[in-house]
Amino acid sequence: MKIGITCYPTYGGSGVVATELGKELAGRGHDVHFISYALPIRLTMNERIFFHEVEVLAYPLFEYPPYDLVLATKMAEVMTRYDLDILHVHYAIPHSISAYLAKKMLTDRVVPFVTTLHGTDITLVGNDRSYLPITRFGIEQSDAVTAVSEYLRRRTIEEFQVQRPVTVVPNFVDCDVYDRATDKGLRRKFANDDEGILIHISNFRPVKRVEDVIAIFAEVRKKQKARLLMVGDGPERPKAEWLANTHGIAKDVLFVGKQNEMNRLLSVSDILLLPSELESFGLVALEAMACEVPVIATQVGGVPEVVRHGVDGFLYGVGDVSSMAEGCLAILNDPQLSSNMGKAAREHARHNFCASKIVVQYEDLYHHTIQQAHTVK
């Protein structure tokens, strides 16, 4: 197949999933065309992966450049020039609307589009109801719709009262890339052998509650030698750095910025901290689990569909810093518990969320959607 993919290229779960999906599809013999305003952060090019940049020019008339319209034009151009079979957009706003416009611009072919909902595109409506009609329209006009968790599927139906079926296709991980490290050299770059390594990976948005990450580590550090790796960047990073200084733990908190090879850092860590206000799936938790890393997270959204409390890690209420710290200490102080949780997490990820199992679901969906679109024509 010839598949178009549009996603946000920035440091976030939806872009990562879209990028990894494109790479997997290319590895399975499909031609994959990425259409976005910048090269996705994890994308590596090869003979089956193509990138088409959407260039938005500034005009004095427009206070805000009309990215959605320029994107639609580029989508239609790529659909026609490269004879795409299907377009897969990640994130409803504005991508599904742009895909709808692009589809309508074509007069000599039918190119259906799939919309994958990742979370914020749906929960955004809870904060600003003015987005509801246009988001519902984009979902209803899609030829197929998927959500990354059962939680998100239910919430989409409740929020929008959509009639179109929403299929759950969970996020996935490359179980060959994400695995436990055997070389201790990298680990020793961050911590001594008698120190545990806690890790937090995010885009440092308020919903990620980085203040809780620092507070949890501060409690752990009172009783246990440890280091905290803060991976990523975003608006809350200065606040996190300030809090680390305030708690007197700055020397043990390492801000390493954005990283492409997340598997290498996860594979030397002992615990992943994910105390978010909301997660529709929790991709980073799955990546950690594949690396045999127990997860300390909040029991919100789709996280319980990924992390099993007491098996792969521990789940707590939002803001329950003291309990999360106790959970960390229980894992750090009991090597057997840590090992059991890590192995259970790896097996859970391998059995249910490996790329080889999930990408086939997308392929089947593409084939069915293409066939249905041409039948309707």
Q: Please, which pLDDT band fits residue 9 given cuts at 50, 70 and 90?
A: confident
Q: Cβ distance 97 to 137 under 8 Å? A: yes
Other beta carbons within 10 angstroms of residue 309's beta carbon come to 15
* Distances in whole angstroms, Cα of residue 18 to Cα of each of 11, 244, 297: 12, 33, 24
**What is the share, in percent, of the chain residues with pLDDT greater than 70?**
97
Q: What is the pLDDT of residue 18?
A: 93
Q: What's the pLDDT band for 222 if we cut at 50, 70, 90?
A: very high
Out of 27-36, 129-138, 147-156, 362-371, pick the least confident: 129-138
- Residue 130 DSSP class: G
Q: What is the pLDDT of residue 132?
A: 86
Q: Indicate if the pLDDT at residue 376 is higher than 80.
A: no
What pLDDT shows up at residue 80?
A: 96
Average pLDDT, integer, range 66-89: 95
The secondary element (H helix, E strand) that includes residue 51 is strand 49-53
In 3D space, the residue among 130, 141, 152, 168 whose CA is nearest the CA of residue 87 turns out to be 141
Lowest pLDDT segment from 125-139, 216-230, 337-351? 125-139
Q: What are the residues whose beta carbons fall under 8 Å from the beta carbon of 22, sequence distance 6 or more? A: 3, 5, 32, 34, 43, 49
Secondary structure percentages of the chain, helix, strand, coil, to 5: 45, 20, 35
Cα atoms found within 13 Å of the Cα of residue 13, Cβ hemisphere only: 26
pLDDT category of residue 61 using cuts at 50, 70 and 90 = confident
What are the extents of the domains in the chain?
Answer: 2-172+355-376, 187-352
Please give the pLDDT value at position 66: 86
Q: What is the pLDDT at residue 374?
A: 82
pLDDT for 125 equals 58
**Which of 246, 141, 263 lies closest to 201, judged by CA?**
263
> What is the per-residue pLDDT for 124?
64
Which tokens go with 317?
């209420």
Higher-pLDDT residue of 206, 11: 206
Coil, strand or helix at 169: coil
- Longest Cα–Cα distance of the chain, Å, equals 68
Rounded to whole angstroms, the Cα distance separating 60 from 186 reads: 51
Rounded CA Rg of the chain: 21
pLDDT for position 11 = 64
Q: CATH classification of 2-172+355-376, choosing from 3.90.850.10, 3.40.50.2300, 3.30.365.10, 3.40.50.2000?
A: 3.40.50.2000
> 286 to each of 170, 257, 327, 364, how far by Cα in Å?
11, 21, 18, 23
Separation between Cα atoms, residue 96 and residue 89, nearest integer Å: 6
Confidence of residue 58 (pLDDT cuts 50, 70, 90): confident
**Of all helices (H) and strands (E), which one includes residue 296?**
strand 295-298
Range 343-366 average pLDDT? 96
Q: What is the structure's pLDDT at 60?
A: 75
For the chain, the distance separating the N- and C-terminal CA atoms, rounded to the nearest angstrom, is: 19
Burial of 226 (0-12, 13-18, 19+ CB in 10 A): buried
Contact assessment for residue 37 and residue 66, using Cβ atoms and an 8 Å cutoff = no
Report the predicted TM-score, pTM, of the whole model to 2 decimal places: 0.91
pLDDT above 80 for 120: no
Q: Is the fold of 2-172+355-376 the same as that of 187-352?
A: yes
**The amino acid at 318:** V
User: What digits encode the pLDDT tens for the residues 124-174?
Assistant: 655 567 888 889 999 999 999 999 999 999 999 988 888 899 999 999 999
Residue 182 has which token pair?
A: 């055997």
Average per-residue pLDDT in the chain?
92
Residue 100 has pLDDT above 60, yes or no: yes
From 56-60, 85-89, 256-260, 305-309, the region with the lowest mean pLDDT: 56-60
- 187-352 domain in CATH 3.40.50.2000? yes
DSSP assignment of 49-112 equals EEEEE------TT-SS--HHHHHHHHHHHHHHHTT-SEEEEESSTTHHHHHHHHHHH-SS----
